[in-house]
Amino acid sequence: MGDGAVGKTSICMRFCDDFFASQYKQTIGVDFMSKKLSLPGAVNVTLQIWDIGGQSLGSKMIKNYIFGAHAVILAYDITNFQSFQDLDDWLDLVHATFKPDEMPYMALFGNKGIKARTCTCTLSLSLSPFLSHFHCSPSLQSLLTHSRGWQLIYSICER
């Protein structure tokens, strides 16, 4: 979840299909993808990924999209400070959807590191207690080649 054009579709496509394009059409509503994985211990899982359009924040359907999710990934563009500030609104939406004892695993992705090598965003106090934070750049490498990408997947599947 996150503002439009922060790279959510790019992250999803890279993870699910190991595909990257330099341009995508805006996601309207939600797109669905899946990824089958074999985890250690001969555990096979299929992750269902819901790519929610950034304009959905005000949508009446958004709570239906995320209700029951095991994980929520908040994404922002490290070159766009406003997209980082807007994460508070996205996080508020998650808190309004889930009971405190049923909160999904949450992670924060800083994206679009190709053009900017420095991140001007500092994790805000309201976000930091809930999130695992790591920067990803799906055009540079597959998320599955990054150990922290696997760490995120294991954390989700353990729940």
Structural domain that includes position 145 = 8-158
Is residue 3 included in any domain, yes or no? Answer: no
Is residue 2 included in any domain, yes or no? Answer: no
Per-residue confidence band for 23, with pLDDT thresholds at 50, 70 and 90: confident
Cross-strand bridge partners of residue 43: 39
Is 49:32 a contact under the CB 8 Å cutoff?
yes
Is 2:8 a contact under the CB 8 Å cutoff?
yes
Q: Share the mean pLDDT of the chain.
A: 78
User: What is the CATH number for 149?
Assistant: 3.40.50.300
pLDDT at 58 > cutoff 70: yes
pLDDT at 135 > cutoff 60: no
Q: Vertex 93, ends 17 and 27: CA angle to 5°?
A: 35
Number of domains in the chain: 1
Q: Vertex 54, ends 50 and 57: CA angle to 5°?
A: 95
Is residue 1 included in any domain, yes or no? Answer: no
Is residue 62 included in any domain, yes or no? Answer: yes
pLDDT at 24 > cutoff 80: yes
pLDDT average, residue stretch 53-77: 87
pLDDT average, residue stretch 125-143: 50
Is residue 35 included in any domain, yes or no? Answer: yes
Is residue 19 included in any domain, yes or no? Answer: yes
